[in-house]
């Protein structure tokens, strides 16, 4: 049985802590939440949208992150490490699907 779903901010911190990850960007699905998007824009807090997005509406929990990486190691390796760090925050990980997309390489 899966542990409680971590807060998106905790998952975002997990991704940012990975060596080679330079930033976390808004996932398109996160921007599809109109109230949250409007609130962030009105508060001039676009960083609030730059987080790992969690969808609990399906049988399995989906976590999606768009990250920027540096050139310290291959981008797929950094993306994989970020996915593993995010998945680890779910505990045993049963029923969790994590997708990390490298959006920028700097």
Distance between CA atoms of residues 27 and 31, nearest Å: 7
- For the chain, what is the mean pLDDT? 84
Beta strands in the chain (DSSP E): 21-25, 53-55, 61-69, 96-105
pLDDT computed for residue 28 by the predictor:
72
pLDDT computed for residue 36 by the predictor:
67
pTM greater than 0.95? no
Instruction: Specify the range with the lowest mean pLDDT, choosing from 43-47, 59-63, 74-78.
Output: 43-47
Q: How many CA atoms lie within 13 A of 66 on its CB side?
A: 11
| Tokens describing residue 34 | 């109109």
Question: Which contacts of 29-34 are long-range, i.e. CB under 8 A and separated by 24 or more positions?
Answer: 29/53, 29/55, 29/64
Are 86 and 14 in contact by the 8 Å Cβ rule? The answer is yes
Q: How confident is the model at residue 61 (pLDDT cuts 50, 70, 90)?
A: confident
């Amino acid at each position: 049985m899966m542990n409680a779903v971590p807060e998106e901010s905790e998952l975002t911190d997990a991704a940012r802590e990975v060596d080679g990850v330079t930033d976390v960007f808004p996932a398109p699905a996160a921007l599809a939440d109109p109230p949250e998007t409007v609130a962030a824009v009105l508060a001039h807090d676009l960083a609030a949208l730059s987080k790992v997005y969690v969808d609990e509406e399906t049988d399995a929990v989906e976590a999606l992150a768009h990250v920027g990486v540096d050139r310290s190691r291959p981008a797929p390796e950094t993306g994989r490490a970020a996915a593993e760090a995010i998945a680890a925050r779910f505990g045993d990980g049963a029923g969790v699907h994590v997708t990390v997309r490298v959006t920028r390489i700097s």
